[in-house]
Amino acid sequence: MEDKKKQAAEAALTYIEPNQIIGLGAGATIGHLVEFLKDLPALDTLRFTTSSYKTKIHLKQLGLHVLDISQISEIDLYFDSCDHYDLELNALKSGGGIHTLEKLLASMAKEFVLLVDESKLSSQITNTAIPLCIEILPIAENFVQQQLKRKYPEAKIQVRTGQRKDGAVITENGNMLLDVWFGAELPLEQLNHSIKSTPGVVEHSLFYHLVNKAFVAGENGVEVLPIFSHRPTKE
């Protein structure tokens, strides 16, 4: 498994050009990519930004030029992994609970490239052991939970709590996280709109039609998907 993550990360190097601003997400695959960056001949012309505190520390330890997200409004490429993806390259990114910042960088990017291994493929990304994670305003917790129970009565909803902290996880934005298990496959376009339009919701972890392409590592090497994309590449 780790070898496949390295394969996907190494394949991303061929996509990087001099003088670009590169956005990076979190996780083991991105960690491998950061290590591979050291060997790029044009490394001193690149600038980086990231949605992840851990990735930011990694980049700075290597002496790379790191920009704060607040300094920029557009980047050339955003590389990230995910918990699950489907054949239309919709992605579920719940584990780190930083999906609001990840979506911001994905939307800033001329191209959003997913780095994954083939085991992450799922035909039913809302019906897995990984929940949909929703960032919410703390004062809206009761209201949002009520609305979710009304819309999805079969769903299991749980406030995300810290492993080494008593109480709820608080995001970089000062908000709370709700984990939602639907236990069924739902229409993704409808789900995307329904959750996002609920007052008190800041953002959710379903990346619907945001990915331009994916580097998928498998037994036969790395495959680039798709030939097409729902999301147009920015000029």
DSSP string for the chain:
-HHHHHHHHHHHGGG--TT-EEEE--SHHHHHHHHHHTT-TTGGG-EEEES-HHHHHHHHHTT--B--GGG-S-EEEEEE--SEE-TT--EE--TTS-HHHHHHHHHHEEEEEEEEEGGGB-S-TTSSSSPEEEEE-GGGHHHHHHHHHHH-TT-EEEE-B-SSSSSB-B-TTS-EEEEEE-SS---HHHHHHHHHTSTTEEEESEE-S---EEEEEETTEEEEE-SS-SSPPP-
Q: In the beta sheet, which residues pair with residue 84?
A: 92
Mean pLDDT of the chain: 94
Q: Which of 122, 36, 44 is nearest to 79 (CA)?
A: 36
pLDDT value, residue 228: 57
Per-residue confidence at 167, pLDDT binned at 50, 70, 90?
A: confident
Model pLDDT, residue 163: 78
* Topology (CATH level 3) of domain 132-202: Alpha-Beta Plaits (3.30.70)
Within 8 A by CB and 6+ apart from 74, the residues are: 21, 108, 109, 110, 234
- Mean predicted confidence (pLDDT) in 152-170: 90
Where in the chain are all domains bearing CATH 3.30.70.260?
132-202
Which pLDDT belongs to residue 235?
Answer: 62
Task: For CATH 3.40.50.1360, list the domain ranges present in the chain.
Answer: 2-121+208-225
Query: Pick the catalytic residue: 10, 102, 111, 135?
Result: 102
pLDDT grade, residue 77 (50/70/90)?
Answer: very high
pLDDT at 1: 61
Distance between CA atoms of 14 and 136, rounded to whole angstroms?
38
Mean pLDDT score, 164-175: 89
In tens, the pLDDT along 1-57 reads 679 999 999 999 999 999 999 999 999 999 999 999 988 989 999 999 999 999 999
- Which of 195, 193, 169, 170 minimizes the C-alpha distance to 182? 195
pLDDT of residue 85: 96
Q: How far does the chain reach from its first CA to its final CA, in angstroms?
A: 35
Residue 115 pLDDT exceeds 60: yes
- Number of residues written out for the chain: 235
Is 102 a catalytic site residue? yes
CATH fold of 2-121+208-225 reads Rossmann fold (3.40.50)
